[in-house]
Structure 1
Amino acid sequence: MREADETTRQRLARALREEPGTPSALAERFDLTPGSVLRHVEHVSRSVEGTGEQFLVAPPACEECGFDRFDDLLNRPSRCPSCKSESVTEPTFTIE
């Protein structure tokens, strides 16, 4: 299938099969906003269920205190709930 014939979600899924990606990196690559990437990735995660593939998420983590038990892994937290630092990494997605 040519890239022009693929939907945004199909292109995101193909990219995540090739290499892991953060919302910001995927947004830049596909000329989207990080928020729209998160909405698309949520649908991509459901579409791989039952296919033999796994949608994996490396959770966001606080760079100050190491907190990584965020409730919503498909989100870009603005600050750490533990120490209130704004130095929080983005989640990283991949499909294996």
Structure 2
Amino acid sequence: MKIRPKHATVPRDRDETERHRIVTLLQAESLPTREISIRIRISEKEVLDHLEHIRMGRYGTLVMEPAACRACGFVFKKRDRLKGPGRCPVCHSEQIAEPLFTIG
């Protein structure tokens, strides 16, 4: 059995961290988590984790435009969770517009 010498792993070059790239995107425009995950190329779950840290205020104020039902127009104003709701409590429709995030 051949033993291969271990080479030191070199981390890939990054100009910015994923969180900084998210902050840069959100300073330019309002985006839903799905669009952020596509542009940064990470999962939506990771985006939500980063948004929780951004929400703490170190990078500026995270402003969330609440989700809304496309069927009846109900707006989820009191919702504190960053993840969008599954369905409307009024009409039970699953056609929910995602919340939009920006840095203010």
TM-score by length of 1: 0.83
Largest Rg, 1 or 2: 2
Question: Is 2:87 aligned against 1:79?
Answer: yes
Q: Which residue in 2 is equivalent to 1:33?
A: 43
Distance of 1:19 and 1:71 partners within structure 2: 22
1:5 deviates by 2.6
The residue matched to 1:43 in structure 2 has which SS? Answer: helix
Q: Which residue in 2 is equivalent to 1:66?
A: 73
The residue matched to 2:48 in structure 1 has which SS? Answer: helix
Distance of 1:37 and 1:85 partners within structure 2: 25
Q: Which runs of 5+ in 2 are unaligned?
A: 1-12
Distance of 2:57 and 2:34 partners within structure 1: 22
The residue matched to 1:76 in structure 2 has which SS? Answer: coil
Deviations 1:44-94 (A, max 9, x none): 12134xx7x432110000001111125234112121122110000101000
Amino acid at match of 1:78: G
The root-mean-square deviation of aligned C-alpha atoms, in Å, is 1.9
Q: Which residue in 2 is equivalent to 1:19?
A: 29
Q: Which runs of 5+ in 1 are unaligned?
A: none
Asked if the contact 1:60/1:73 (under 8 Å) is kept, the reply is: no
Amino acid at match of 1:30: I
Identity across matched positions, percent = 36
Distance of 2:67 and 2:46 partners within structure 1: 18
